[in-house]
Amino acid sequence: MHRAHSVSLLAVCSILIGCASHLPTMNSVQPVPRPDQIVSFDRLYGENCSACHGANGQDGPAIDLNNAVLQQLLDDATLHRVIRDGVPGTQMPAFGESAGGMLTDAQVDALVAGMRRRWASASLVHPVQMPPYTSTLTGNTARGQQLYQSDCRSCHSGRRQQVTDPTYLALVSEQALRTILIAGRPDLGHPGWLTVGGGRAITDQDVTDLVAYLVSLRVATPGQPYPEQSETGKTAPHTQEK
């Protein structure tokens, strides 16, 4: 009986030793990086950006980042600031730690560098100067309306892409309108600044005037929960196109 017990104990020890030989050693275990140490573009973009801007910077609900004109329009400092601080009044949140987000400056830099590497084009050359991302010019609403009628209305009439709808204008920022006019929305078939003007390039002043006109169409109660009143107090029909 004692001999059988010894044999069983020896067998158990042999099994444990065999299993132990297959266990990872302390040197073979890879440490899990802290969240603030991750600088892989694929992981940072996938976890923070792809839900809105698409898996490859395309076909998401927000503007395509995989757009060489957009990447040229935004310099590194502006792109870093937008990611870090977000865009007030829009659905673009702040991702930087300094603005209440989860990403360090190094991680924001990794996102900027990755976007440039993947989606920018150093060979992109334009025949005339591209309008800047922001402008110091003053918009002329009347001229903007004229430009809209001649250059934009044919595509934005009827039921298609109602850019003049006050509900849409309540959801989009002035900067977003300007960015779309310059960089375009290839995913929606919207041309950029080189051809949006009826086949001609539009200028900084053109963009500024068009944005001023569109912003002038905003209403105090977007979604039209209340009927509009004319000066006589009677309900007036709402018109989008002027």
Three-class SS of 158-220: CCCCCCCCHHHHHHCCHHHHHHHHHHCEHHHCECCCCCCECCECCCHHHHHHHHHHHHHCCCC
109 and 147 in a single domain? The answer is: no
Q: With respect to residue 97, please indicate whether it lies within any of the assigned structural domains.
A: yes
Q: With respect to residue 107, please indicate whether it lies within any of the assigned structural domains.
A: yes
Q: With respect to residue 221, please indicate whether it lies within any of the assigned structural domains.
A: no
Entry pTM = 0.77
96 and 155 in a single domain? The answer is: no
167 and 113 in a single domain? The answer is: no
98 and 163 in a single domain? The answer is: no
Q: With respect to residue 19, please indicate whether it lies within any of the assigned structural domains.
A: no
Q: Please write the tens of the pLDDT for every residue from 41-67.
A: 999 999 999 999 999 999 999 999 999
Pseudo-torsion of CA 8, 14, 15, 21, nearest 10°? Answer: 170
Query: How many structural domains comprise the chain?
Result: 2
92: domain CATH number is 1.10.760.10
Which residue range forms the structural domain that includes residue 151? 141-216
Q: With respect to residue 20, please indicate whether it lies within any of the assigned structural domains.
A: no
Residue 96 DSSP SS3: strand
Higher confidence at residue 239 or residue 185?
185
Q: With respect to residue 160, please indicate whether it lies within any of the assigned structural domains.
A: yes
Q: Please write the tens of the pLDDT for every residue from 100-118.
A: 999 999 999 999 999 999 9
Q: With respect to residue 22, please indicate whether it lies within any of the assigned structural domains.
A: no
Q: With respect to residue 92, please indicate whether it lies within any of the assigned structural domains.
A: yes
47 and 107 in a single domain? The answer is: yes
Measured between alpha carbons, how far is 61 from 52 in angstroms, rounded to an integer? 5
Q: Please write the tens of the pLDDT for every residue from 188-231.
A: 889 999 988 777 899 999 999 999 999 999 998 887 666 555 55
115 and 41 in a single domain? The answer is: yes
CA distances from 126 to 42, 173, 196, 241 (A): 30, 27, 14, 33
Measured between alpha carbons, how far is 28 from 121 in angstroms, rounded to an integer? 41
